[in-house]
Amino acid sequence: MAETLSTPLRTRYQPPVRPELGQKNYISLYLMGLYAGDATAEEAFRSRWSGGRRLDMGTSCVRFRSADDLDLDLIGEAVSLWTPEQFVDPYSARRAGR
């Protein structure tokens, strides 16, 4: 079991979601796909939120204290909006045009 799922995926692409575990009072989950697309994705996410606590959302993150505070089904939908390739392709195209 030396090989993990993260080995082939993380060598080329970073997924468009990133947890920040270094905060003292909360954990931040960055959902960049909500902000990279149109504004309706973020609005739909905010309106459908039904986590254990009120939504504490920053510019590109959802802040929470425990997993019980999250609406995991909705976060799963938000993560699946963009594949890593879809997230990286516009950036790569801009870099190639330089």
pLDDT digits over 7-23, tens only?
Answer: 444 445 555 555 555 55
pTM for the predicted model, two decimal places: 0.64
The whole-angstrom distance between residue 64's C-alpha and the CA centroid of its chain comes to 14
The per-residue pLDDT for 67 is 84
Mean pLDDT, range 46-60, rounded to an integer: 87
Q: Is the pLDDT of residue 57 over 80?
A: yes
Mean pLDDT over each residue of the chain, to the nearest integer: 76
Report the alpha-carbon distance of residue 9 to residue 94 in Å, rounded.
22
Tokens of 23: 């905060």
Amino acid at 49: W
**Partner residues linked to 29 by β-bridges:** 19, 62
User: What is the helix (H) or strand (E) element at residue 47, kind and residue range?
Assistant: helix 39-48
Cα separation, 62 vs 70, whole angstroms: 9
Residue 36: pLDDT band with limits 50, 70, 90: confident
Question: What are the extents of the domains in the chain?
Answer: 15-96
